[in-house]
């Protein structure tokens, strides 16, 4: 195993996960610069700044959209930063795959790495599409129900959030299975999907907590956006502050929960020094090794 | 004619939704606007040759003089999609001149081959398929003047000046038909319905029969006929008359049609139904063996919705919208004068038959998903087609010459109804997104003002996109601007107009006259300029300055406002000082650049033209503001977008 592979194994997994999460947030914040720059540039002469976009039913917002005016300079900078961060976010995964296959030659390793990354991206894209469909369906299906709750603005969102929980939880499960599959460096999907599910089974309670927290976190993000929207229109700083505080508190809690569980799972899956070479080849050695480590528990 | 259609309404809803989601910022802007207060009936309005100048009471259907009345029998072969028809036309020469010819519309011939006027045109940004899988046509077997015992039909007739089109046929009379003389025409015909490409046709066993019989063109008071070939963007203009139509279909088929069902019987495995309606100017019917049915009532009006299996929820929504709409439109534009309203929700395979209006029969459409959508797609479409019962049906303007009276007024009226019934942001029913219909309509027409006059005839529009933007979007935006700038003047004028021209055939000039009667010359001139002359405007602050007064008691200065374009409307100018305190001044209607004096306790910081965004016709709202303290970073948008993006990342890779 290479030095990088060693480091990947030695580095406490929860640090890697927290780091990955931080990268993701930075990436999100960078992506957010694009519309923010666009909004600021479009409304710089209006006394209320970006708020003008939403006044009178969004007349100015539609105008800006229809005229297609984008502040190209700033947008390009922000877009380029987003792209760089997106590539950076893929480097750890690519590096891991590269290291796993290096003994077989660089060219083949690259080919296989790209193929594997491509498959992962494809699956990630499919999951995004499915999630979007689920969210759209839920929005459509429960829109009338939500709309029937009159007189309060909070209840519709609470109910909507409850209905929205299962979808992100299911995709979190899917994501973990995909991630573990990547770690195991297996070909094929459906057969190994069952293997990864079996790996997760002994940790049902932790998984439940992790997936629930994952779902809650996503709802929290959306809720934060809604709270922010309310603050935008209500111009209430306190509402905004409460929304943001809640969002970041949940974010922190979920981050630690995620880090703990995944660190545990990774330590179970990845073999330690001296174990059999498990992570390439066509045998089930890796899986066997992992199982052998978890059986005594 | 046709709807902005389902696709346009859907498009508007999606555009509205996406526009709002872009920032994912939200506002609770709920709170329905209550129904408008009852208004006194108008006492002053424009004149019309077919309508009284003033109406103390609404005209009822029984008061209307029939010009072209049809008694028809139609047998539908549901396998061959052929209607064998026969019957009579009772036609009265209500003009001042003797007639030596008639014009007869055979609009199904638009689908007979690809060289007809209709097929030569392309949708180019509007609804409808350009391809017709199975052609359709009308073959006239007999067209005989009974009193003269003379056959009038000549073989190989075609539209004037266009041998490739047979939708607008001139029929010469053997002797002139004197003013007030009545003629009876005995006719027999065979109509082959096309596969549904637009408006009419069949899909499987579903049949939507519109423009299915030979129909006399609209006779104008001067003795001419308002005749025109079947076009992609227009088809409607006819005289009022009484219709009595007997339809027979296979036993398993359900029929929906214009008018009231007066008789139903079964003969040799055929269902025979007879529908009759007074004072309408067209007759359409549908027949399908897949219909389910729901009914409702609204006052004296019986509503019936025919819909495909599985679309019960959509039917419920459409019936509810229609019930609400009948009350709203009735109060605003005069009571619905008929006893029935049939709503047809076509199957998905015949979606292009949806989003249409015929007297007492409208077609809607949409999928099951749309019935669940938070956007009020089905309600909007239903209200639009229902609105046509007034602006097309009862106020029977020439859709070909002045589509802005038909689709434009209906689009405006639809928005009024949605706002009144569901709230200002009622088109998109997602609580936090304050997207107004006015904003959507305005966005639709931005950039199109210079292409064509809004009042152009349907055939003059160079593309479907132009037709949609100008006839639907810009018309409605013009009307709403007048409302916002002149305190509801168009709303009131249209109510007058609808009542004064009930069962009449008004022109755009009548609409301008109604606005003048309500609001005076300034709004009337603005309306005329906007619809006839491609009128436009773009107000823009060019500069602002202020300095301390000599006595040290405040600041004075000026702002300079440029008013580009030839449309003159009053403008509000808002000046905000460095302390955030605002003051407003109103500029009278005018053009060119103008200075506005500023005087305040602090230096001026911003000037905004039209701060309430009432002048929706302002071509570019982005340049409405000028500040010497430009706003900083949009941190709200940044945080909102970042959170949303993080949510997406988290969702896709938890």
- C-alpha angle B339-B341-B346 in degrees, rounded to nearest 5: 160
In order of A226, B14, B27, B430, B439, the CA distances from B21 in angstroms are 11, 10, 12, 11, 15
- Cα atoms in the 13 Å half-sphere on the side-chain side of B528: 13
Task: Summarize the confidence of residues B152-156 as an average pLDDT.
Answer: 90
Task: Summarize the confidence of residues B183-206 as an average pLDDT.
Answer: 95
> Phi/psi class of residue B45: alpha, beta or left (left: φ > 0; alpha: ψ in -120 to 50)?
beta
- pLDDT above 70 (res A56): yes
- pLDDT above 70 (res A82): no
Reduce the DSSP state of residue B402 to 3 states and report it: coil
Mean pLDDT (chain A, rounded): 54
- pLDDT above 80 (res B86): yes
C-beta atoms of A46 and B625 within 8 A: yes
Among A104, A131, A158, the domain-final residue is A104
Same domain, A97 and A129: no
Kindly give, in sequence order, each residue whose CB lies less than 8 Å from that of residue B109, ignoring residues fewer than 6 positions away: B116, B137, B138, B165, B166, B167, B230
Query: Chain B 542-581, CB below 8 Å of chain A: which residues?
Result: 576, 580
- CATH 1.10.390.10 maps onto chain B at 1-64+309-535
pLDDT for B647: 66
Same domain, A143 and A247: yes
Task: Summarize the confidence of residues B336-358 as an average pLDDT.
Answer: 95
- pLDDT above 60 (res B401): yes
Is residue A238, in this structure, part of any structural domain at all?
A: yes
**Which of the residue ranges A202-211, B136-145, B160-169, B592-601 would you say has the lowest mean pLDDT?**
A202-211
- pLDDT above 60 (res B578): yes
Residues of B in contact with A143 (CB under 8 A): 372-374, 429-430
For residue B600, how far is the Cα from the chain centroid? 48
Structural domain total, chain A = 2
C-beta atoms of A67 and B620 within 8 A: yes
pLDDT for B601: 96
In order of A10, B173, B209, B210, B594, the CA distances from B103 in angstroms are 91, 11, 21, 19, 55
Q: Which of B201, B192, B238, B622 is nearest to B442 (CA)?
A: B622
Q: What CATH number should be reported for the domain whose range is B67-239?
A: 2.60.40
- pLDDT above 70 (res B179): yes
Greater confidence, B502 or A15?
B502
Q: What are A125-174's pLDDT values in tens digits?
A: 555 555 545 544 444 444 444 444 434 444 555 555 555 556 555 655 65
A50 lies in which domain range?
1-104
Same domain, A72 and A125: no
Mutation for testing the B interface, residue in A225, A231, A244 having most B CBs under 10 Å? A225
Spatial contact of A176 and A200, defined as CB atoms under 8 Å apart: yes
Among A42, A72, A104, the domain-final residue is A104
Same domain, A26 and A88: yes
pLDDT for A189: 41
Distance of alpha carbon B302 from alpha carbon B296, whole angstroms: 6
- Find which of A88-92, A175-179, A243-247 is predicted with most confidence, using mean pLDDT: A175-179
Q: What CATH number should be reported for the domain whose range is B1-64+309-535?
A: 1.10.390.10
CATH number for B537-627 (one of 1.10.3470, 1.10.3280, 3.40.50, 2.60.40): it is 2.60.40
- pLDDT above 60 (res B252): yes
- pLDDT above 60 (res B150): yes
- CATH 2.60.40 maps onto chain B at 67-239, 537-627
pLDDT for A29: 79
Q: What are B24-76's pLDDT values in tens digits?
A: 232 222 222 222 223 233 333 333 433 333 445 888 888 899 999 999 999 99
- pLDDT above 80 (res B621): yes
DSSP structural state of residue B162 = B
Greater confidence, A176 or B448?
B448
Beta partners for B594?
B561
Same domain, A97 and A191: no
Nearest to B19 among A55, A62, A229 (CB): A62
Greater confidence, B370 or A121?
B370
C-beta atoms of A32 and B639 within 8 A: yes
pLDDT for A159: 56
Spatial contact of A258 and A252, defined as CB atoms under 8 Å apart: no
pLDDT for A145: 45
Q: Which of B169, B151, B152 is nearest to B160 (CA)?
A: B169
Same domain, A238 and A167: yes
Reduce the DSSP state of residue A265 to 3 states and report it: helix
Mutation for testing the A interface, residue in B642, B644, B648 having most A CBs under 10 Å? B642
Spatial contact of B478 and B533, defined as CB atoms under 8 Å apart: no
pLDDT for B38: 30
Same domain, A258 and A212: yes
Same domain, A269 and A180: yes
Is residue A91, in this structure, part of any structural domain at all?
A: yes
Distance of alpha carbon B87 from alpha carbon B152, whole angstroms: 15
pLDDT level of residue A222 (50, 70, 90 thresholds): low
Token output for B265: 């019987």
This prediction has a pTM of 0.76
Task: Summarize the confidence of residues A198-202 as an average pLDDT.
Answer: 61
What percent of chain B lies above the pLDDT cut of 90? 73
Greater confidence, B29 or A69?
A69
pLDDT level of residue B308 (50, 70, 90 thresholds): very high
| B643 to chain A, closest Cα gap in Å | 6
ipTM for the assembly: 0.79
Mean pLDDT (chain B, rounded): 88
pLDDT level of residue B223 (50, 70, 90 thresholds): very high
**Which of the residue ranges A63-77, B255-269, B421-435, B522-536 would you say has the lowest mean pLDDT?**
A63-77
């Amino acid at each position: 195993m290479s030095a990088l592979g060693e480091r990947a194994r030695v580095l406490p997994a929860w640090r890697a996960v927290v780091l990955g999460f931080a990268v993701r947030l930075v990436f999100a914040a960078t992506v957010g610069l694009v519309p923010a720059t666009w909004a600021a540039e479009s409304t710089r002469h209006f006394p209320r700044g970006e708020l003008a976009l939403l006044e009178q039913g969004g007349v100015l917002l539609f105008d800006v959209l229809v005229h297609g005016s984008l502040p190209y300079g700033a947008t390009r900078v922000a877009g380029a930063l987003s792209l760089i961060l997106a590539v950076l976010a893929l480097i750890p995964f690519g590096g891991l795959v590269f290291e796993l296959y290096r003994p077989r030659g660089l060219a083949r390793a690259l080919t296989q790495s790209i193929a594997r990354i491509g498959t992962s991206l494809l699956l990630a894209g499919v999951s995004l599409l499915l999630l979007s469909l689920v969210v759209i369906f839920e929005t459509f299906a429960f829109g009338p129900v939500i709309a029937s709750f009159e007189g309060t603005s909070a209840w519709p969102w609470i109910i909507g959030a409850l209905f929205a929980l299962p979808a992100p939880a299911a995709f979190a499960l899917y994501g973990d299975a995909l991630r573990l599959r990547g770690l195991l460096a297996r070909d094929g999907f459906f057969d190994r999907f069952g293997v990864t599910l079996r790996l997760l089974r002994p940790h049902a309670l932790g998984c439940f907590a992790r997936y629930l927290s994952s779902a809650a976190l996503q709802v929290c993000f959306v809720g934060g956006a809604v709270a922010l929207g309310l603050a935008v229109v209500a111009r209430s700083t306190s509402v905004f502050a409460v929304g943001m505080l809640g969002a970041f508190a949940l974010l922190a809690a979920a981050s630690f929960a995620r880090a703990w569980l995944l660190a545990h799972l990774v330590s179970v899956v990845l073999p330690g020094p001296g174990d059999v070479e498990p992570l390439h080849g066509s045998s089930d050695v890796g899986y066997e090794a992992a199982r052998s480590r978890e059986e005594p528990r | 004619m046709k709807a902005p259609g389902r696709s346009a309404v859907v498009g508007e809803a999606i555009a509205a939704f996406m526009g709002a989601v872009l920032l994912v910022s939200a506002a609770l802007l709920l709170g329905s606007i209550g129904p408008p207060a009852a208004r006194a009936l108008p006492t002053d309005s424009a004149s019309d040759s077919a309508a009284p100048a003033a109406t103390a009471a609404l005209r009822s259907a029984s008061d209307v003089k029939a010009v072209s009345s049809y008694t028809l029998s139609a047998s539908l072969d549901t396998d061959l999609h052929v209607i064998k028809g026969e019957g009579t036309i009772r036609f009265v020469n209500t003009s001042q001149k003797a007639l030596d010819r008639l014009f007869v519309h055979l609009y199904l011939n638009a689908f007979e081959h690809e060289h007809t006027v209709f097929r030569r045109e392309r949708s180019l940004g509007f609804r409808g398929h350009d391809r017709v899988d199975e052609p359709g046509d009308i073959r006239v077997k007999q067209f005989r003047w009974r009193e003269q015992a003379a056959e009038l039909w000549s073989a190989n007739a075609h539209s004037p000046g266009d041998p490739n089109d047979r939708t607008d046929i001139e029929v010469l009379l053997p002797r002139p038909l004197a003013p007030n003389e009545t003629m009876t025409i005995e006719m027999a015909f065979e109509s082959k319905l096309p596969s549904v490409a637009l408006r009419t046709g069949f899909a499987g066993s579903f049949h939507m029969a519109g423009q299915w019989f030979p129909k006399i063109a609209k006779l104008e008071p001067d003795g001419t006929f308002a005749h025109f070939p079947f076009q992609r963007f227009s088809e409607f203009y006819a005289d009022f008359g009484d219709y009595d139509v007997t339809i027979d279909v296979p036993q398993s088929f359900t029929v929906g049609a214009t008018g009231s069902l007066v008789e139903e019987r079964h003969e040799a495995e055929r269902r025979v139904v007879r529908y009759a309606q007074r004072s309408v100017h067209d007759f359409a019917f549908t027949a399908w063996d897949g219909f389910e049915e729901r009914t409702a009532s609204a006052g004296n009006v019986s509503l019936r919705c025919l819909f495909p299996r599985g679309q019960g929820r959509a039917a419920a929504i459409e019936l509810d919208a229609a019930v609400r709409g009948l009350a709203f439109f009735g109060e605003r534009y005069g009571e619905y004068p008929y006893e029935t309203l049939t709503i047809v929700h076509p199957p998905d395979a015949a979606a292009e038959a949806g989003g249409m209006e015929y007297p007492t029969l409208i077609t809607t459409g949409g999928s099951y998903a749309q019935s669940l959508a938070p956007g009020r797609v089905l309600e909007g479409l239903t209200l639009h087609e229902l609105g046509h019962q007034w602006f097309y049906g009862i106020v029977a303007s020439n859709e070909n010459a002045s589509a802005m009276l038909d689709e434009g007024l209906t689009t405006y009226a639809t928005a009024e109804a949605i706002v009144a019934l569901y709230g200002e942001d009622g088109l998109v029913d997602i609580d936090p997104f304050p997207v107004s219909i006015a904003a959507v309509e305005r966005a639709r027409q931005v950039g199109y003002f210079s292409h064509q006059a809004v009042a152009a005839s349907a055939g003059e529009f160079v593309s479907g996109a132009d037709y949609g933007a100008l006839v639907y979007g810009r018309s409605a935006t013009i009307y709403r601007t007048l409302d916002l700038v002149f305190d509801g003047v168009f709303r009131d004028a249209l109510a007058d107009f609808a009542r004064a021209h009930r069962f009449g055939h008004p022109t755009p000039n009548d609409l301008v006259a109604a606005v003048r009667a309500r609001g005076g010359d300034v709004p009337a001139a603005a309306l005329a300029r906007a619809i006839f002359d491609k009128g436009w405007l773009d107000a823009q602050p060019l500069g602002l300055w202020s300095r301390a007064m000599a006595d040290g008691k405040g600041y004075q200065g000026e702002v300079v406002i440029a008013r580009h374009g030839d449309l003159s409307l009053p403008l509000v100018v808002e000046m905000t000082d460095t302390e955030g305190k605002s003051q407003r001044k109103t500029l009278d209607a005018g053009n060119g650049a103008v200075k506005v004096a500023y005087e305040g306790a602090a230096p001026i910081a911003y000037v905004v033209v039209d701060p309430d965004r009432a002048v929706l016709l302002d071509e570019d709202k982005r340049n409405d503001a000028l500040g010497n303290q430009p706003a900083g970073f949009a941190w709200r948008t940044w945080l909102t977008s970042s959170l949303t993006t993080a949510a997406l990342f988290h969702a896709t890779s938890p």
